Structure 1
Amino acid sequence: MKGRRITMPEPVHENPPEFLRNAAEPVRDHLLGAAPLPAFLHGADQLSLEDRRLLVDQALVLLEQNYVHLPLKTAMHAVNPVQRLRLLRRRMERQTPQTMPREWLFHAEMSEIFHSVRDLHTNYLLPDPFNDKIAFLPFLVESCTEGDRTRFLVTHVASGFSAPGFEPGVEITHWSGIPILDAVDLNAARFAGSNTAARRSRGVQSLTVRPLVIHLPPLEEWVTVSYIDLAGTARELRQSWQIVENLPSFVSADRDTAVSQGLDLDGDETQRAKVLLFAPRVVAQERAAEADESLPDLGAGEIATSMPKVFRARAVTTPSGTFGHIRIFTFNVSSPGTFVAEFVRLIRQLPQGGLIVDVRDNGGGHIHAAEFTLQTLTPRRIAPEPVQFVNTPLNLRICRRFQGGPGLDLGPWVPSMEQAVETGSVYSGAFPISPENGANAIGQQYFGPVVLITNARCYSATDIFAAGFQDHGIGPVLGTDENTGAGGANVWTHDLLSEFLADDPGTPYTPLPKGAGMRVSIRRTLRVGPNSGTPVEDLGVVPDELHRMTRRDLLEGNTDLLDHAGRLLQGLPPHAVTITEAAPADGALHLKLAAENVDRVDVYLDQRPRASVDLTGGQADLMVQGAASAHTAHLEGFEVGRLVASMTRDLS
């Protein structure tokens, strides 16, 4: 799952700011490659008029013929991105290289058209030199609620940065002279969150960190931050934007990974930027993991992981008890099997009386990784979310090319898409991306109660994970916002679509210039179980309980949030079944069973039902005739007729 290693850029500053020279050792050389905004923008214009026309033409192909949410977005948000692209293309026909507007204005209009659909899967990706860079200020701002008022606090300051009275906990009051709440809302209006909570969350996040592959560079060279320090003194800080290469993704670009992506690219880029700026210990841990060395800087109760950018696992003590807490920062991995194996290894080492699975700020990634993980937390069989194409001639053409073969098989969608010519149906039939066998291959691995924590930055594959968690009744969902980010789709890139029709002389796809890119929601996801058929897009997952982030949460390691999760777990008993002894005896199989909070166990041997036994005192002893040579045993435990635990064991 490792991608390209970090290559340190050459220093750009002749006299870099002091905080860059004093940055933490694991990232210091990398950050010394930063440039001030004016130096970065000098000479950044690289697109010719023909390049621009080509980009508009290809955007029309994707939005008009591939984009699955176009009917929904046109109706729900009263937008018409296709017509806006046609008008832009018409204006460009009258332009010359001498009269065309400056390049940043072209990028601004393209970005605005894509943002108008409020879909973080469907993006115009800026070309070189923007596409691997971030614009940043050396601190992070987050919001909390005190009484009926929203406050904005500095929660992290980059190593080496200092200003009078400026430290975690100070309250921001104004942003370049604008009251901070208004500044956040102005920021939020520019970006593509699917609902109010998601837009507000993006507005806060982009105050200080902006991946330039999606966001235009800031218009202002610096910001003036008005704040109240911890002593109550009002102060101001003027800070210039810096531009630096982001940490690389560690996901390989193979096709199997690309076709199963459900990723908020903005969120993924921002997570890596936050690691670079505010969590250099994670960079040090990743280097140690790659070198097979012991991991440095582990916190109290924390378990070492080979995937420190993906997981953080620890035991946490709350007034309700001690529980496991596993943070999943991303599902963006190349190998879902490796992801699930590491998740299982970590949760087995955590307290077994209750588990807090925390996916806040997780922008998604590999849909298989998200859906394959659900089985480890429940005795129920997982039904992966089905997905649909929008019915267009181009989508049908692509599906016909990939039916029935090894690897990618789009055949299941073809019959319904062909029928749409007669029926006029907008969407194809619905079939899952994740194979059902893979989503149920290993079954339940954690037997205590589980609570899931979400927020409005959960997106895409993480929306799918949260929806599956709720739809399968795994446990309560505790949200710090009213919805998740509501990204209900599988996303494909322009490069991937071009590859699919590369040997087709009539392909509508043309290579994009100067490293530019585009992404589009290609298949929309539908929920299962009690919410069967409900789209995830724009609706997201509504939590079962809401927790408003507090000052203690922001500054003291989510103390109140974890206490809230602990109270939910305290009232949920664990359920478990296990085989304590299995041995052949006179042509039969002798099994000794133990269980917790289970009154009946059904026994399956080699996938066949062979016995059902009532438990007394949590134990049972039974002989299964004619089963001495069985290879696998599967147990299902019930409490008052309700399935509450399951386990599978290899007997060979």
Structure 2
Amino acid sequence: MADTHGISVEANDRKAAGQQAEEIIRSPAGLEIAKTFALGGATVDAAMVYSVEDRRRVLAQVSFALDNFYVHLPRKKSIYGFDPVRALALLRLRGEALTDGEFHESLVEILARVRDRHVMFFGRSPYGYSAVLPFTIETCWENGNELYVVTKIDAGTSQKTLSVGTRVSHWNGIPIDRYVRLNANLFDGGNEAASVARSLAFLTHRPLTQFGPPLEEWVDLRFLDRNGAMAEERFAWIGFDVATLPSAPALGRNLTGFGGDVLLMDLQTARRVRSAPQTFDALQPLQPVAPPLGVPVIQGRGANGVFDYGTLATHDGTFAYLRFWSFSANNVDDLVDALAPVLGTLPQDGLVFDMRGNTGGYIAAGERLLQLFGARPIVPARFQFRITDATRAMAEASDEFAPWRPSFVEAFGTGEEYTRGIPIEGDEADYNKVGRKYAGPVVLISDALAFSTADIFAAGFIDNGIGTVICTDANMAAAGGNNWGWDVVRLFNPDFRVDGKFKVDFNSGKLSKQVRDAFNALGISLSNGSTLSPGRPQFDGTVWTIQDGALTHLVRDVPWMSPDLEVYLAKSPAGLADLPSGIYLSLTMRRALRVKANEGRVLEDVGIVPDIVYHMTLRDVLEKNQDLLERAGKELIGVAIA
């Protein structure tokens, strides 16, 4: 067993003959956090299988989702001149003749051209599986020139001349800056900065659920070695599995208030495994030796690891430091309740709020943090549905969307395309009930990977006049909306309801005459051979499955949603259906509008205008961001930088 840089790696023989040994990666305390394996093994190859029926259902539901629920469809068609619904119809004509890989890649390419990172499709590759190269490349600037630099190399990697600090010039014979921009066409950023940042972030880490195995089995790098001489080296892709550390968010009751990127969460988890495995263990006591100026001292973690907090000593003083990795929460006040008591323990002369690479999360929970720093009452962002027959029926069917109902009624008389903008959860008083807890100046640091709820938080930070925004890219991700998984869309669109009194009948485990009569009264006949499965927990309620020959119907008891039982037919009259097992789709259901001085501006595609666009230095990417954080310190004390 080898132990390098705090990562423990041990080899285990696979039982299947002919497969290479897998390696288990452990944290310093011995927690199993990941595995590596030979890419192209039978498990991966067998996973991505789309039957003819699966292909038809996937294409039908993705097309239905975009045409009937996707809030940005008219805007995206206008901006990019591309109609994804029409493209999906064309794919249906040839979809059955394609291989599994071709079908998957065609669908991913169509959705990438929508240019909305909330529109995500994941195939059947095992969750947590990725293809990786054993190094990370980042960009920085030196003397006005952009450099591509190797910043991390995995423990135990055998390389000839590649080292941390190596400056890469070519990727498979293509100048690397050009390759990154070409590769950006495969990504769905709402602006160039976001697409390029995403291209670089996933350059050496490709989640198989979206990308599938890389077409090239190896990558040839050309770079300047330690002696300044040009060198080349070849690296093969390997499999990487973090399924033991699921990164998909625990939504809790936040089913309809999510704004985040599951793919970026996977990347964030993988980067922790590969470069900071100690963060999976308990926080270690502070070392007696103070770190260099510009390096934060982390004193604790809050909200189950959502944020780190501590102090930041710079040449201009010692400040408070927060590092928010996401805005994940189970309940809307979780983040405020976790952070408010911490702020009083930190230096009060200024605070650096660092959310680079933030993967998003619970929108309202993130927005409610703004009150802790605001001198005046916070005004939250407004959210709108696109008006269609499907969204109107959904709003009428659930009290969850009662505030938007009058807009649907008005819009059908006035021709409006969107509902009135309303806070996503609660009213303005809910965003101000705790109030300001930090009175010093605040600087927000972000980048083009910070996503969704992070975009909304940054916009609120600016619109409510809280402080200065430093962005290490020209813009943030410009993902201004609320995304739902297709299972959540389906949840809020039942085909009909039956009286809640039938819960007793369903709990009995048999389809009673009363239940059959209730279905028959609504035009749905259940055969004598239909069976009822035992109830199982789901969505803070119970779901039962009725199997009637080849048809599978679901019945749900979700008390927080309705006192009645919700019925979901295998063949919905409205055209909705569940996706085949192992397949994931999400889309933007509501768009965010900015407030105050930016009243009514759409956040999607436009993003924010930072006060400072900062170019990362070589010292930043190779060490611990000292130059960036020193710059933030100067902003906190009001030092003007030319």
TM-score scaled to structure 1, two decimals? 0.79
Map 1:155-554; keep pairs closer than 5 Å.
Answer: 155-246=151-242, 247-249=245-247, 251-254=249-252, 256-285=253-282, 300=291, 301-307=297-303, 309-403=305-399, 409-435=400-426, 436-504=428-496, 506-554=573-621
**2-side partners of 1:341 and 1:552: how far apart?**
36
- Give how far 1:172 is off: 1.2
Find the residue that maps to 2:209 and give its secondary structure.
coil
- Give how far 1:373 is off: 0.6
Which amino acid is the alignment partner of residue 413 of structure 1? Answer: W
Which residue of 2 is the match for residue 74 of structure 1? 77
- Give how far 1:414 is off: 1.3
Which amino acid is the alignment partner of residue 232 of structure 1? Answer: G
Query: 2:107 pairs with 106, 110, 130, which one?
Result: 110
- Give how far 1:141 is off: 0.9
CA deviations over 1:495-540 (Å, ceiling 9, x no partner)? 0111112353534321211310110100000000100100000011
- Give how far 1:53 is off: 0.7
* Contact 1:22/1:160 (8 A) holds in 2: no
**2-side partners of 1:427 and 1:400: how far apart?**
16
Find the residue that maps to 2:392 and give its secondary structure.
helix
Find the residue that maps to 1:76 and give its secondary structure.
helix
CA deviations over 1:323-356 (Å, ceiling 9, x no partner)? 1221101112323433223323433332110000
- Structure 1's 391 and 306: CA in aligned 2 closer, same or farther, altered over 3 A? closer
- Structure 1's 68 and 469: CA in aligned 2 closer, same or farther, altered over 3 A? same
- Give how far 1:167 is off: 2.8
Which amino acid is the alignment partner of residue 619 of structure 2? Answer: R
**2-side partners of 1:233 and 1:30: how far apart?**
38
- Structure 1's 467 and 172: CA in aligned 2 closer, same or farther, altered over 3 A? same
**2-side partners of 1:56 and 1:210: how far apart?**
24
Which amino acid is the alignment partner of residue 553 of structure 1? Answer: D
- Give how far 1:123 is off: 1.3
Find the residue that maps to 2:445 and give its secondary structure.
strand
- Give how far 1:417 is off: 1.3
* Contact 1:26/1:280 (8 A) holds in 2: no
Which amino acid is the alignment partner of residue 460 of structure 2? Answer: G
Structure 1: runs of 5 or more not aligned: 1-7, 289-293, 404-408, 573-652
**2-side partners of 1:253 and 1:568: how far apart?**
36
- Give how far 1:229 is off: 2.6
Which amino acid is the alignment partner of residue 623 of structure 2? Answer: E
Map 1:593-604; keep pairs closer than 5 Å.
Answer: none
Query: 1:88 pairs with 78, 91, 94, which one?
Result: 91
- Structure 1's 9 and 330: CA in aligned 2 closer, same or farther, altered over 3 A? farther
Find the residue that maps to 2:152 and give its secondary structure.
strand
Which amino acid is the alignment partner of residue 329 of structure 1? Answer: W
- Give how far 1:153 is off: 0.7
**2-side partners of 1:313 and 1:555: how far apart?**
22
Find the residue that maps to 1:431 and give its secondary structure.
coil
Which amino acid is the alignment partner of residue 417 of structure 2? Answer: V
* Contact 1:24/1:160 (8 A) holds in 2: no
* Contact 2:443/2:468 (8 A) holds in 1: yes
**2-side partners of 1:335 and 1:343: how far apart?**
14
CA deviations over 1:135-155 (Å, ceiling 9, x no partner)? 222221110111232101111
Which piece of structure 1 moves more, 518-527 or 223-232?
A: 223-232
Which amino acid is the alignment partner of residue 215 of structure 2? Answer: L
Which amino acid is the alignment partner of residue 135 of structure 1? Answer: A
**2-side partners of 1:500 and 1:559: how far apart?**
48
- Structure 1's 24 and 110: CA in aligned 2 closer, same or farther, altered over 3 A? same
CA deviations over 1:564-610 (Å, ceiling 9, x no partner)? 111111129xxxxxxxxxxxxxxxxxxxxxxxxxxxxxxxxxxxxxx
Structure 2: runs of 5 or more not aligned: 1-9, 292-296, 497-568
**2-side partners of 1:22 and 1:170: how far apart?**
26
* Contact 1:363/1:458 (8 A) holds in 2: yes
**1-side partners of 2:210 and 2:285: how far apart?**
34
- Structure 1's 295 and 89: CA in aligned 2 closer, same or farther, altered over 3 A? farther
* Contact 2:71/2:589 (8 A) holds in 1: yes
**2-side partners of 1:198 and 1:74: how far apart?**
19
- Give how far 1:560 is off: 1.3
- Structure 1's 345 and 35: CA in aligned 2 closer, same or farther, altered over 3 A? farther
Which residue of 1 is the match for residue 63 of structure 2? 60
* Contact 1:451/1:565 (8 A) holds in 2: yes
**1-side partners of 2:309 and 2:185: how far apart?**
35
**2-side partners of 1:34 and 1:431: how far apart?**
48
**2-side partners of 1:22 and 1:400: how far apart?**
50
- Structure 1's 345 and 215: CA in aligned 2 closer, same or farther, altered over 3 A? farther
- Give how far 1:29 is off: 4.5
* Contact 1:257/1:334 (8 A) holds in 2: yes
Find the residue that maps to 2:322 and give its secondary structure.
strand
**2-side partners of 1:28 and 1:232: how far apart?**
40
- Structure 1's 316 and 365: CA in aligned 2 closer, same or farther, altered over 3 A? same
Find the residue that maps to 1:304 and give its secondary structure.
strand
* Contact 2:248/2:265 (8 A) holds in 1: no
Which amino acid is the alignment partner of residue 106 of structure 2? Answer: E
Find the residue that maps to 1:141 and give its secondary structure.
strand
- Give how far 1:130 is off: 4.0
- Give how far 1:59 is off: 0.5
* Contact 2:335/2:366 (8 A) holds in 1: no
Which residue of 1 is the match for residue 116 of structure 2? 119
* Contact 2:386/2:417 (8 A) holds in 1: yes
Find the residue that maps to 1:150 and give its secondary structure.
strand
- Structure 1's 354 and 198: CA in aligned 2 closer, same or farther, altered over 3 A? same
- Structure 1's 253 and 477: CA in aligned 2 closer, same or farther, altered over 3 A? closer
- Give how far 1:207 is off: 0.8
- Give how far 1:161 is off: 2.3
Which residue of 2 is the match for residue 563 of structure 1? 630
**2-side partners of 1:523 and 1:377: how far apart?**
27
* Contact 2:452/2:481 (8 A) holds in 1: yes
* Contact 2:260/2:359 (8 A) holds in 1: yes
* Contact 2:251/2:329 (8 A) holds in 1: no
1:101 counterpart = 2:104 = no
* Contact 2:251/2:258 (8 A) holds in 1: no
**1-side partners of 2:473 and 2:368: how far apart?**
26
CA deviations over 1:254-303 (Å, ceiling 9, x no partner)? 4x212110012222221111112221011123xx7xxxxx6698985221
1:142 counterpart = 2:133 = no
- Structure 1's 343 and 162: CA in aligned 2 closer, same or farther, altered over 3 A? farther
* Contact 2:481/2:604 (8 A) holds in 1: yes
**1-side partners of 2:87 and 2:451: how far apart?**
27
* Contact 2:480/2:607 (8 A) holds in 1: yes
**1-side partners of 2:169 and 2:30: how far apart?**
31
Higher RCO (CA < 8 A, seq sep 6+): 2
**2-side partners of 1:361 and 1:280: how far apart?**
18
**2-side partners of 1:164 and 1:502: how far apart?**
60
Find the residue that maps to 1:156 and give its secondary structure.
strand
- Give how far 1:484 is off: 0.8
- Structure 1's 30 and 449: CA in aligned 2 closer, same or farther, altered over 3 A? closer
- Structure 1's 333 and 26: CA in aligned 2 closer, same or farther, altered over 3 A? farther
